[in-house]
A and B are shown apart, each in its own frame.
Chain A
Amino acid sequence: MTVLILTSEEDVTADMVVSKLHGTGTPVLRLDPADLPGKAVLSADYAHGDFDGHLSVNGHVLSMGGLRSIWVRRPGEPAAHAADPSPWLTAETRQALYGMLHSAAARWMNHPRSADQARLKPWQLRVAHLSGFAVPPTVFTTAPRLAREFVEEHRDVVVKSASGPPPGDPALALPTTLIGPDADFSAVAAGPALLQRYVPKRADIRLTCVGPRLFAARKTAEPGQVDGRYGDTGQGWEPVPVPERIGKSVHEYVTLAGLAYAAFDFAEDEDGIWWFLECNQGGQFGFVELETGQPISETVALWLAQWRSDRNPVRLR
């Protein structure tokens, strides 16, 4: 039974898991959907009331009947590397590939339906509420008056992007940024603004959840630091235990969201409270493992290698 990893060739975080699977003798097929059609070949048969399908790339072949699990890691857009790419070809290729994979009886990390929903930042905040996390007051609005009132009420407020920086040239970064009450809020009408009360923090916390296993890491923050992803604080990530209450909330969250893997970001305040900031369903873990030695890639590999279908295979007869 084979593990299918959907990711780009240059993804060395995936390498960490592939090498663990090699070490246990678990068959792996690594595919970037961008290479389909072309370098990769697909065929799916729906006939005589039955289904089977095959994928091949770089001399490796996978039958859908032998598919154990699927890790959606960093897949490219289907057909992105095709000789004549187009939105239509991407749509057709997505239908062929993901339609075939959904027809098989495999477990997903994470299931695309759950992943799509889990990417919605406002929804994350609601699930965090329901899971018992401390969540900083937040507003997501296109109303300049409400944005101004929110900042007047909470004073220290950050603005952040829900979907990441805009694509294009020149490349832009959108770090979480403190704004003041004197900001010009009229532009809030031109696009939804996500405003959140700033949490003065003494540390960033990254908690990686793999199935039932939790790995928390902590990095001391500089005074007044806002976005720990940008700039070098001179501090490193260190492993820390997961408080029992946080662990319960994490398990509640991933159950509600239907996630097998998630990377949570928290801000630890001066009282030691972990404030929920966001949950990245496809969050990076390589840098945490490399700095802390936590066996995250090994745990991902073990989860993928277990034989347990998320559901019964599709039966047409």
Chain B
Amino acid sequence: MQPFTLKYALPRGISAAVTPYHFDPARQLNMLPNGRPAVSDPDLLLAVGTTTSTAGSATHFDD
């Protein structure tokens, strides 16, 4: 029998978003293609949604 709580599960959908930054091991920061840190562009970070409370991975439910 399916647990009661799972009756209310919904498909999450597949995120098609590609993060426009990459990790720089030397700086230990994610960098934009223009060579600036990703955190220098707050509008971009909000747009890609990687700082939101539903952005946690499957191993991090306490967002």
Q: Which residues of A contact B (CB under 8 A)?
A: 8-10, 12-13, 15-16, 18-19, 22, 28-30, 57-60, 74, 76-77, 119, 147, 159-161, 163-167, 170-175, 177, 179, 183, 185-194, 206, 229-230, 280-284, 286-287, 290-291
Contacts and interface: CB of A to CB of B under 8 A. Distances in A.
Contacts of B6: 166, 174, 191
Counting from the closest, the 3 A-B pairs by CB-CB distance are A286-B51, A191-B3, A164-B61
Given A15-B30, A15-B39, A187-B4, A287 B52 contact: yes
Contact of A191 (B4, B38, B54, B61): B4
A290 B5 contact: no
A10 B19 contact: yes
Nearest to A281: B62
Main SS at interface, chain A: mixed
Contacts of A173: 9-12, 54
A186 B12 contact: no
Nearest to A286: B51
Nearest to B1: A190
Given A15-B39, A159-B5, A164-B61, A30 B28 contact: yes
Interface of B: 1-14, 19, 21, 23, 25-30, 37-39, 42, 45-46, 50-63
Given A172-B11, A190-B3, A287-B52, A10 B63 contact: no
A194 B8 CA distance: 12
B12 to A, nearest CB: 4
A59 B25 contact: yes
A291 B46 contact: yes
Contact of B29 (A19, A185, A190): A19
Nearest to B23: A9
A159 B4 contact: yes
Contact of A284 (B4, B10, B29, B53): B53
A77 B20 CA distance: 25
A230 B63 CA distance: 13
B8 A159 contact: yes
A183 B7 CA distance: 10
B5 A171 contact: no
Given A18-B29, A159-B5, 18 more contacts: A12-B45, A12-B50, A15-B29, A76-B59, A167-B58, A171-B12, A172-B9, A172-B11, A173-B11, A183-B4, A185-B4, A189-B1, A194-B5, A230-B54, A283-B53, A283-B63, A287-B46, A290-B46
A179 B8 CA distance: 9
B2 A190 contact: yes
Nearest to A141: B4
A19 B39 contact: yes
29 contacts: A8-B57, A10-B23, A12-B50, A12-B51, A13-B51, A15-B39, A22-B29, A59-B25, A77-B59, A119-B62, A161-B5, A164-B58, A164-B62, A165-B61, A170-B12, A173-B11, A173-B12, A174-B6, A174-B9, A190-B3, A190-B4, A194-B5, A280-B63, A281-B62, A282-B62, A284-B56, A286-B51, A287-B46, A287-B53
